[in-house]
Amino acid sequence: MTRIFFSSLLLFIICSHNSLAQPVSPSDSIKNLKLFQVIRTGDTTALKNALAEGVSPNAVLQGYSALMAAALNGSVEEMMILITAGANVNYINADSVTALWLAVPDYKKTVLLLDAGANPQVIGKGGYTPIVKLACTPGSAGLMKLFIEKGAALKKSAPNNLLIYNAAMTNDTAMLGICIRAGLSLNDTMCINDRPLMASIYGKNFQTLKMLVDHGADVNLDGTFMVIKNNYTPLMLAALSGDRQSFLYLLDHGANPNLKSPLGMTTLMFAMQAEEDDPEITRALLKYGVNPAEKMPDGTDALYYAERRGNTESVLLIKNQLKKQP
C-alpha cells in the first residue's frame, strides 16, 4: 500500500501543465465558493438552483473546476448535472489535473466522463496520463479496457516504465496481462533502477511475479530498493522480505543465488536480516550451493547476521554446513 501511495503521490507532484487563469469578479468568486460548498454537501437540488441562478458550470476555485470538485468529493449525479449544464470535461489545471484524473478509479464517475468525451490521452508536462494511476488499482482491468477503447495509448502513457510497474504491484494478473499484451517492457526501469519484478516483490504479490517471470522477465537484473543506493537482485529482495513463495519460484526459474550486491552482501546474508527467520529459505540456499563462509569487506558473514537477529534454526543450519566444509 505504501508503494502504491508513493507512486500516485509522485505522479501528482511531477505532472505539471500551464493554463491561463481567468479573472473573476468578487461577486462571481462568492457565487463560485457557494457552488463548491453545495457540491460537497451532495444536495443536487441546491446545485440545480445555483446553476439556474446563473452560476457557471465551469466555475473555477483555486485551480479546480466545479466538475473536478464533483469528481473528487461529489457524486455521479452532481457530475451529470454539471455536464448537462455545459461543464468542460477536459478542463486541465496548472498541475495537469483533470476531472478524469480525479475520478479514477471510481468506475461510474470514470465511465461518465469518458462517455461525455473526456480525453483519455491528456498528457501532463511530466508525460503521464490517468491510466498510470489506474494501473495501480486492483480490479480495474475493465476500466483499463474502456480507456483503450476510448483511445488511450499504453505505450504513450508515461515517459518511463511506470504503467507496468504499477500493474505489477497490484497482484492483479488481468491488469498486468493487458500491459504485457500491449508490449510494455518487462525489464525496463521505472526510475532509480526500479523494475516491475521488484515492484511485485515489494507487496509479496506472487501472482504478478509469476506472470512476469513466465513471460520473460529477467530474474537476475538488479534493482534499487526505494532510494537506498545499493543494488539488489529480485532474489535478494525476496529473501530480505521473507517472501518464501516468490523466493523459491525465482530460485527454481534461474535466479542466481551466488550473486553479491555491490557492497559484497550475499543472498544468504540478506535472508538472515529478514524480519522473521525462515529456515526453508536458508535450506534452499544451502542446497543450491551458497557458501555460508563468504564475508563482507568488514569481515561479517551470514552467521554473524543470523546470530544477531536471533535466527535460531538458521544458525544451526549454517553451523552444520560450515562444519562440512574443508
Give per-residue pLDDT as tens, 164-208: 999 999 999 999 999 999 999 999 988 777 889 999 999 899 999
- pLDDT for residue 73 is more than 80: yes
Extract the C-alpha cell encoding 177.
Answer: 496481462
Confidence category of residue 236, pLDDT binned at 50, 70, 90: very high
Torsion over CA: 226, 227, 228, 234 (sign): positive
Domains of the chain: 219-326 (1.25.40.20)
Mean pLDDT, the chain, integer: 89
Percent of the chain with pLDDT over 70: 89
- How would you write the chain as a 3-class SS string? CHHHHHHHHHHHHHCCECCCCCCCCHHHHHHHHHHHHHHHHCCHHHHHHHHHCCCCCCCEECCEEHHHHHHHHCCHHHHHHHHHCCCCCCCCCCECCCHHHHHCCCHHHHHHHHHCCCCCCCCCCCCCCHHHHHCCCCCCHHHHHHHHHCCCCHHHCCCCCHHHHHHHHCCCHHHHHHHHHCCCCCCCCCCCCCCHHHHHHHCCCHHHHHHHHHCCCCCCCCEECCCCCCEECHHHHHHHHCCHHHHHHHHHCCCCCCCECCCCCEHHHHHCCCCCCCHHHHHHHHHCCCCCCCECCCCCEHHHHHHHHCCHHHHHHHHHHHHHCC
Which residues are CB-neighbours of 189 under 8 A, at least 6 positions away? Answer: 160, 161, 195, 223
Extract the C-alpha cell encoding 186.
Answer: 518487462
Query: Which pTM does this prediction carry?
Result: 0.84
Q: What own/partner pairs with CB < 8 Å and gap ≥ 24 does 318-321 have?
A: 318/268, 318/282, 318/286, 318/292, 321/286, 321/292
**How big is the chain by its Cα radius of gyration, in Å?**
25
- pLDDT for residue 226 is more than 90: no
Mean pLDDT, residues 32-53 taken together: 94
Give per-residue pLDDT as tens, 85-122: 999 999 999 888 999 999 999 999 999 999 999 999 99
